[in-house]
């Protein structure tokens, strides 16, 4: 689903080095004779609807909640990000260095790496005029962890404070038996509930006289600073929260606020942060307006108003961009050529510099002009003033698509699984443990033509992913072992499989043998009807597998969005997903896809989960970057050897903004545009 961040994330995608083996080289602009467009270009160089207003026309504006402790979706977080603030913040476009924000300096850290002491900035006021205190900071973190719930981001904060594996407050109450169930939690012994709350308060302690907050972790946690720099580390005004129906801070009552939903959360529609912008108007699904905070603790923002406006029709959004009524709009992939036609200047991402080119932008014309090349340029340094947009292109994003296999698909005679046919190796289905054979998984991995997906779905604005962690994170390597499209190797792996478990590989059995190569199989791959990428991948797999062996039958099934959303991963044989990272760290990729939720839904064997658990425990608690790198390379090798899933594609940027927009920060870790430094000329 493309929400607000579908296009905003192109403005904040990863500052990383593109692996030569992982990508199709980005076309580079050349200095050639100017190609004259075949139609008149509008002359628009005035900063649109006033130099102090930024208008974003979005195709969808569904905000789930403005509560920083609960918001997990990028749409909500993109606004929270500009209204609330955190103790520390990312340093410019860097993904792994930080600067103090609501903390007046970077924290001191104990020798064992467990205790962080933050000096809290004085003189900071919330939007309602209340002055921020150290107690507000401590309360915000305590409230978040105690509110918990797996539909919130609190699992990212619980483990550092409560211990490895304790990713929800219920884990230290009843071993997680009451997870996501408030009534079940409340049924626990009151003394046990109180002890869990007191545990949280013991490890997050405020000293208002000294102006400090001390946080004591259960173990060293290497990505701790990266974790608290995100929106779930935002500081709220305790007095205001309590006055508006939130937790009163008592260990006698916290369980009443556990696993809040957006519908019942009193802070889903109101805000009171310390940030550079305040929420002035909000009509969910229609419009959200942020206004400049004139009492901001830093110099007030240059922009006065930020307008998020729901404009569902593409033609209307395009016109708004063309005539200058919008500074940014959602652009569907297949509409990019239409917008390319009004680009007057562009910059290409430079992997070696980890930033877009700093040289003066060059002219840009689309192939609409007869004989024109997509990247034909004017003489270096020139621009085409008649064309209003600036294009940023080629920066890999902080999201990745993957193919995941289900190692043990549930089915029974009473409840047959329609996605696996007969449920047997009889040519008309697959057995439930079909993908438990590593050679079957590898065969599918070799049968995916990623280049075609990149061309047909992303119009070349994507690169092949070669490993689970994203480029730029610890343990990422430029030349890892990975699977490329190779039908011959696909065939070889099928012949090495032993699906019938008779000890003889499929390729060595006689023509009358009962294994997969001679018997064949049939299964279904489902995808959302609106998911072009998932559909194309399913169709490519079906076609390639049939070419490898005409006994291999894959049916592609498009589901309505609601039906697909309700689909459980463990019920299908394989599925393609697209995931945004939460923090730019390898733990945020390995944990979910091995020991975490996705790994569990894939029915991974307990011994394999334990093997990854050992590796990841060493990785997340190791503070030495060199040692961490070796640990995550070990994890990556195991993920590849077992072919647990197949990293597929990382989308790259194709960003259209008005040429008068300056100052945008392209940090890939941001959940949306950070408007504070932006201005118009």
Residue 31 has pLDDT above 50, yes or no: no
pLDDT above 60 (res 458):
yes
pLDDT at residue 19 above 50? no
The pLDDT value recorded for residue 58 is: 96
What's the rounded mean pLDDT across residues 184-211?
A: 98
Separation CA 483–CA 480 (nearest Å): 10
* Higher pLDDT among residues 350 and 626, named by residue: 626
Which part of the chain is CATH 3.90.76.10? 74-274
Half-sphere exposure of 319 (CA within 13 A, CB side): 6
In this structure, what token pair is assigned to residue 64? 């789930």
Class of 5-61+281-395+653-680 in CATH:
alpha beta
C-alpha–C-alpha distance, residues 657 and 673, integer Å: 12
Q: What phi and psi values does residue 547 have, to the nearest 5 degrees?
A: -70, -35
Going from the C-alpha of 254 to that of each of 201, 600, 660, the distances in angstroms are 12, 29, 49
CA 267 to CA 275: how far, in whole Å? Answer: 16
Asked whether the beta carbons of 467 and 477 are under 8 A apart, the reply is yes
For the 399-649 domain, the top CATH level (class) is: alpha beta
pLDDT for 452: 95
**In the structure encoding, which two tokens stand for residue 662, read together?**
């300056």
589-618 b/e with 16+ CB inside 10 Å = b?
A: bbbbbbbbebbebbbbeeebbebbbebbeb
Q: Let me know if 331 is exposed, middle or buried by CB neighbors in 10 A (0-12, 13-18, 19+).
A: buried
pLDDT in tens, 505-534: 998 876 557 899 999 999 999 999 988 999
DSSP character for 590? H
Residue range 640-648: mean pLDDT, rounded: 98
Strands (E), 192-275: 204-207, 212-216
Question: Per residue in 268-312, pLDDT tens?
Answer: 999 999 999 999 999 999 999 999 999 999 999 999 999 999 999
d(CA 138, CA 215): 9
Mean pLDDT of all residues in 35-53: 45
> Is residue 6 very low, low, confident or very high in pLDDT (cuts 50, 70, 90)?
very low
Place of tokens 């070799």: 446
- What was the pLDDT predicted at 386? 65
Give yes or no for residue 54 having a pLDDT over 60: yes
The predicted structure's pLDDT at residue 358? 56
* % of the chain exceeding 70 in pLDDT: 88
Mean pLDDT of 555-569: 88
Report the length, in residues, of the chain. Answer: 681
Sequence-separated (6 or more) residues with CB below 8 Å from residue 404: 569, 574, 575, 576, 577, 593, 598, 601, 602, 645
pLDDT > 50? residue 605: yes
Phi (first) and psi of residue 563, to 5 degrees: -65, -40
478 confidence band (pLDDT: 50, 70, 90):
confident
E strands along 137-241, which residues?
A: 204-207, 212-216
Portions of the chain given CATH number 3.10.105.10: 399-649
pLDDT band at 162 (very low <50, low <70, confident <90, very high): very high
Which pLDDT band, with edges at 50, 70 and 90, does 29 fall under? very low
* E-strand stretches of 484-573: 521-528, 552-559
| Fold annotation for 74-274 | Dipeptide-binding Protein; domain 1 (3.90.76)
Beta bridge mates, 103: 120
Look up the pTM and report it: 0.86
- State the span(s) of the chain assigned CATH 3.40.190.10: 5-61+281-395+653-680
Tell me what pLDDT residue 405 has: 97
d(CA 531, CA 564): 10
DSSP single-letter state for residue 658: E
The half-sphere exposure of 596 on its side-chain side, counting CA atoms within 13 A, is 18
Determine the Cα–Cα distance for residues 681 and 678; give it in Å rounded to an integer: 10
pLDDT at position 412? 85
- Inform me whether the pLDDT recorded for 2 exceeds 90: no
pLDDT tens digit string along 350-386? 877 778 875 444 444 433 333 344 444 433 334 455 6
Can you tell me which residue has the tokens 């409340």? 186
Query: For residue 95, what pLDDT is reported?
Result: 83
Is residue 60 helix, strand or coil?
coil
Q: Are 154 and 200 in contact (CB under 8 A)?
A: no
User: Tell me: the pLDDT tens digits for 304-315?
Assistant: 999 999 999 999
pLDDT on residue 512: 57
| Residue 130 pLDDT greater than 70, yes or no | yes
The pLDDT-based confidence of 182 (bands split at 50, 70, 90) is very high
Mean pLDDT of 125-139: 98
pLDDT at 40 over 60: no
Q: How confident is the model at residue 564 (pLDDT cuts 50, 70, 90)?
A: confident
State the pLDDT confidence band at 257, using cuts at 50, 70 and 90: very high
């Amino acid at each position: 689903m493309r929400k607000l961040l579908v296009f905003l994330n192109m403005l904040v995608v990863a500052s990383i080095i593109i692996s030569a083996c992982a990508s199709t080289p980005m076309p580079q602009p050349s200095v050639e004779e100017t190609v004259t467009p075949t139609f008149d270009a509008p002359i628009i160089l005035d900063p649109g609807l006033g130099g102090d207003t930024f208008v974003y026309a979005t195709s969808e504006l569904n905000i789930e909640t403005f509560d920083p402790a609960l918001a997990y979706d990028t749409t909500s977080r993109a606004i929270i990000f500009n209204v609330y603030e955190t103790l520390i913040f990312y340093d410019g476009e860097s993904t792994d260095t930080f600067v103090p924000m609501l903390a007046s300096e970077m924290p001191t850290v104990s020798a064992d790496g467990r205790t962080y002491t933050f000096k809290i900035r004085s003189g900071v006021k919330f939007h309602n005029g209340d002055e921020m205190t150290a107690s507000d900071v401590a309360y915000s973190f305590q409230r978040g962890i105690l509110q918990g719930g797996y539909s919130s981001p609190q699992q990212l904060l619980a483990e550092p404070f409560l211990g490895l594996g304790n990713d929800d407050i219920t884990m230290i109450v009843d071993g997680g038996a009451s997870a996501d169930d408030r009534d079940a939690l409340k049924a626990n012994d009151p003394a046990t509930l109180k002890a869990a709350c007191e545990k949280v308060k013991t490890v997050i302690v405020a000293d208002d006289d000294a102006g400090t907050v001390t946080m004591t972790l259960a173990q060293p946690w290497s990505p701790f600073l990266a974790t608290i720099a995100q929106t779930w580390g935002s500081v709220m005004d305790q007095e205001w929260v309590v006055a508006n129906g939130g937790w009163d801070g008592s260990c006698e009552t916290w369980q009443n606020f556990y696993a809040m939903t957006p519908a019942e959360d009193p802070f889903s529609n109101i805000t009171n942060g310390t940030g550079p912008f305040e929420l002035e108007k909000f009509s969910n699904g229609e419009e959200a307006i942020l206004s400049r905070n004139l009492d901001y603790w830093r110099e007030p923002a240059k922009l006065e108003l930020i307008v998020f406006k729901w404009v569902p029709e593409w033609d209307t959004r395009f016109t708004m961009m063309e005539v200058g009524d919008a500074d940014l709009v959602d652009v569907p992939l297949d509409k990019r050529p239409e917008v390319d036609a009004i680009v007057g200047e562009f910059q290409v991402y430079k992997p070696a510099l980890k930033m877009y080119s700093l040289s003066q932008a060059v002219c840009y014309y689309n192939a609409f002009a007869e004989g024109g090349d997509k990247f034909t340029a004017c003489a270096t340094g020139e621009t085409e003033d008649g064309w209003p947009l600036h294009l940023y292109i080629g920066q890999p994003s902080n999201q990745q698509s993957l193919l995941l296999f289900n190692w043990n698909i549930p089915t029974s005679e009473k409840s047959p699984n329609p996605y696996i046919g007969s449920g047997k190796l009889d040519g008309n289905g697959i057995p439930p443990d079909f993908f438990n054979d590593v050679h079957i998984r590898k065969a599918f991995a070799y049968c995916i033509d990623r280049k075609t997906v990149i061309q047909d779905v992303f119009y070349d604005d994507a690169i092949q992913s070669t490993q689970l962690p994203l480029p730029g994170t610890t343990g990422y390597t430029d030349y890892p072992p990975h699977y490329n499209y190779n039908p011959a190797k696909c065939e070889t792996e099928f012949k090495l499989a032993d699906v019938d478990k008779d000890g003889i590989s499929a390729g060595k059995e006689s023509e009358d043998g009962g294994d997969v190569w001679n018997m064949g199989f049939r299964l279904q791959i489902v995808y959302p009807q609106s998911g072009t990428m998932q559909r194309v991948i399913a169709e490519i797999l079906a076609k390639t597998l049939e070419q490898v062996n005409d006994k291999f039958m894959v049916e592609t099934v498009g589901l309505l969005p609601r039906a697909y959303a309700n689909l459980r991963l463990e019920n299908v044989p394989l599925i393609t997903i697209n995931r945004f990272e939460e923090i730019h760290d390898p733990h945020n990729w390995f944990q979910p896809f091995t020991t975490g939720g996705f790994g569990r839904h894939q029915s991974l064997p307990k011994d394999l989960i334990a093997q990854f658990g050992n590796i990841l425990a060493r990785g997340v608690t190791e503070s030495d970057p060199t040692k961490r790198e070796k640990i995550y390379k070990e994890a990556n090798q195991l993920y590849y050897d077992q072919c647990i899933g197949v990293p597929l594609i990382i989308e790259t940027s194709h960003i259209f903004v008005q040429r008068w927009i300056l100052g945008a920060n392209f940090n890939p870790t941001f959940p949306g545009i950070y408007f504070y430094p932006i201005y118009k000329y």
